[in-house]
Amino acid sequence: MSGSSSLQKSVDSPPTATPATPLSPPINNNGTAPIEIKSPDQMLSNPEIQKVMNSDVAINALLSRLKQSLLTCEEFTKFIRKKYVYEEEHVEELAKQFKHFFVDASGSSLKRRIHDVLEFDGKLAQVKRSYVTALEKMYDEMSALLFTMTKMRKSVKENSRRLEKEVADAIHSAEKAQARYNSLCQDWDKLRMTDPTKTKLTLRGSKTTKEQEEELLRKIDNSDLDYKQKVDYSDSLRNTFITRERPKIVLELKDLILEIDTAMSIQLQKYTIWTENLILNSGVTVTPFDSTKSMKSIASSVTNEKDLYDFLNRYNNTGKNGLMVNKNLIPVGYKRHPSMAKGFGDSSSKRSPPIFAVNPTKNSIPKRIISTHNETPFTSSPSTPSMAGSTNTSFKSPNLPPKNSVNSAQREPKTSSEFSQLHVTNEASISSNNDTDPRSKTLDPGNSNARLPSLSTTVSMATAESDRPLSHIQTNNSMPPGTQKNFKTFGVPIENLVEFEQDMVPAIVRQCIYVIDKYGLDLEGIYRKSANVLDVSKLKEEIDRDPSNVAMILPPKNYTDSDIYLVGSLLKAFFAALPSSLLPEELGPEIKTCLSIPDQKTRKNYMHGLIYKLPDAQYWTLRALLFHLKRVADHESQNRMNLKSLNIIWGPTIISPNEDEPHDVNFQIGAMEVLLDVADQAFEAD
């Protein structure tokens, strides 16, 4: 319509310059007569169009055309709706995702420039937000238009059908009256050709021919009168419909068609304008008039060489020469020990070998001793017996449940205050015994204050031949209670971890559960969503290199959801890396028997008995894990993790597969379901 108007203006307006050759008017295809360019209103007034508009097919044709317009409007409305939803989701993600990366913009220029470039996503999101608002408004307007036009078309259609039906019924009634009148006239012709003396036998008696003629003429007169009345009525209805009602309906349908098509044209123009504005504003945002602030100029301002120079030069500016020296590469000078230099070879200088805290015949570590480089059990004191005796008494963990115990009375969980009291009691016991050992002086008779080998050195000697590789990384980080350096964590039997750490649950398990309980209970998909594999592998290597690095599990102050997902993946990786599952393979037949019990109460009691057959390490670790998973399930409304989801994830992780059908995960999932169901019955409250 706009194109036709512009065309009309160009034709009507006078030329600005005289053309060299006058333009001839366009002609028809047959070349006989020129085509006259008319406005849209004039085109609808053409005789060939008026002929169709005044015909009986006009209403049905216009109704069909209006339906096509409605279908076009409906399809375009659906497109706008879909694009609006898609663009809205894109805006939300665009405005949110870039904030999770490069939060700390300090450091190299590359890191700062990446942060600056990613901020353009936020600016583009603001530009697109107005576009999304415009699409939403267009959708609302077109939906209202579609609803109104559909309702009006239905009303016009019902009115036209009703009027057409009235005319058609009147014509049909006149046709029936005509047929009855013609039939009576044919009977009159037949009666006139019969024998006048012949009588007709009826129910009321016999009638002569004359009587029959009189009766038939009376019926013909009545039928003729009815026939004439119905013809006059049908003609009147038809003339009224054709001359008054049908033109009104045709005009109304034409106006509806032009109205919806015009509205759709306007909406299409609005769509193109908003799309053009989006592209132009996005371009101005990315490349503003000030070229120094464009995305390209920011990306090209990275100075890699200067970054490397500043990084290396910091080692000169710190004032600490020790940062430039690798202490592991400092050579060791040979120096004879003073005790060997004095009277070497004299029988009086022979000293008895030192008594260590570790029993060399068993090559084991006493229970509940936390090794440290700052303490030693060998300080002299004249009031206690030998260290060998103290090894079997004072170094035992008080109130520690015996290993592989089944008695539930011995499995009472200790509170955190009791564990702290236990640790203090052990250290006091070690100190009191070591201060009174008279034989510790024999290590250096010339210097009673000489520093003797610490207990951590003893531990390293006692475990040098074990299957756990040593770690020689020096660190000043404090470790969680019960953690010792120089031992791997992943892929080590859980009972060995508990024995070396001298606690009931491995430190990594306690640390991961603490982080998830504090930061991840309301996090959607915790344990279902996995972290980056490289991040998990890197954190595992750090912890295996030095167990004190379990402190790295704690998230930073400006942590993101990915930091919490990393802790969940690390906890699953720890249990998956165990040489033997938390519920070992030996319990497989009994677990299978348990799952085959139909009665729920009996099944729970049977699983209760199986739990008490576990060794202490597996028992207490399983208790901590189950109560933690129940806390996760309690927050199902926030994290979308119900008991079924946790069973699917953790069943194959901590339960050995079925020997008969190794690929049947339903066995492990079912066992996990019973474990969570019996947790409150089998363990004391957390």
Domain ranges, residue 412? 355-462
Q: Say yes or no: 425 and 381 in one domain.
A: yes
Is residue 136 one of the residues assigned to a domain? no
d(CA 186, CA 184): 5
At 103 the pLDDT is 80
- Does residue 209 form part of some domain? no
In a domain, 135, yes or no: no
pLDDT tens, residue by residue, 508-552? 999 999 999 999 999 999 999 999 999 999 999 999 998 889 999
Q: What is the mean pLDDT of each run of 10 residues along the chain (686 residues)?
A: 39 40 49 56 82 89 94 95 92 86 81 88 90 94 95 94 92 93 88 70 64 85 92 92 92 93 94 94 90 87 88 72 68 77 48 37 33 32 34 34 38 40 38 39 35 32 36 39 63 90 92 95 93 93 90 92 94 94 91 93 93 93 95 94 94 91 90 94 83
> Contact, 422 vs 397, CB < 8 A?
yes
Q: What amino acid is encoded at 17 in this protein?
A: A
Residue 331 lies inside a defined structural domain of this protein: no
Residues 447, 509 within the same domain: no
3-class DSSP state for residue 451? coil
Kindly report, residue by residue over 309-320, the tens digit of the pLDDT. Answer: 888 888 777 655
Torsion-angle region of residue 502: left (phi > 0), alpha (psi -120 to 50) or beta? left
Q: Do 643 and 531 sit in the same domain of this protein?
A: yes
Q: Is residue 438, in this structure, part of any structural domain at all?
A: yes
131 occurs within a structural domain: no
Does residue 443 sit in the same domain as residue 379?
A: yes
| Distance, C-alpha 504 to centroid of its chain | 36
How high is the pLDDT of residue 11? 35
Q: How many domains does the chain have?
A: 2
Residue 575 and residue 428 share a domain? no
Q: What are phi and psi of 380, to 5 degrees?
A: -75, 150
Q: Which two tokens stand for residue 187?
A: 């009977």
- What CATH number is attached to the domain comprising 522? 1.10.555.10
- Is residue 295 classed as helix, strand or coil in its secondary structure? helix
Supply the pLDDT for residue 46.
86
Contact assessment for residue 511 and residue 553, using Cβ atoms and an 8 Å cutoff: yes
Co-location of 642 and 521 in the same domain: yes
Using an 8 Å Cβ cutoff, are 668 and 655 in contact? yes
Within-domain flag for 538: yes
Examine the domain organization and report whether 370 and 519 are in the same domain. no
Q: Are residues 454 and 531 in the same domain?
A: no
Q: What is the pLDDT of residue 668?
A: 93
* 548 and 662 belong to one structural domain: yes
Kindly state whether residues 498 and 579 are assigned to the same domain: yes
- In terms of domains, do 433 and 547 share one? no
- Token pair 């190299």 is at which residue? 108
410, 442, 462 - which closes a domain: 462
| C-alpha span between 260 and 73 (Å, rounded) | 8
In a domain, residue 586? The reply is yes
pLDDT at 421: 40
Separation CA 673–CA 540 (nearest Å): 29
Q: Identify the pLDDT of residue 354.
A: 37
Give residue-wise pLDDT tens across range 278-320.
999 999 998 988 888 888 888 888 888 888 888 888 877 765 5
Long-range contacts at 298-302 (CB < 8 A, ≥ 24 apart): 298/113, 298/116, 298/117, 299/113, 299/117, 301/109, 301/113, 302/109, 302/110, 302/113
Q: Is 351 helix (H, G, I), strand (E, B) or coil?
A: coil
Q: What sign does the dihedral 263-265-271-277 (CA atoms) show?
A: negative
Q: Which of 419, 443, 462 is the last residue of a domain?
A: 462
Q: Are residues 580 and 641 in the same domain?
A: yes
What is residue 360's predicted lDDT score, i.e. its pLDDT?
34
Residue 504 exposed, middle or buried by CB count within 10 Å (0-12, 13-18, 19+): buried
By CB neighbour count within 10 A (0-12 exposed, 13-18 middle, 19+ buried), where does 49 fall?
exposed
Single out the residue in 411, 446, 462 at which a domain terminates: 462
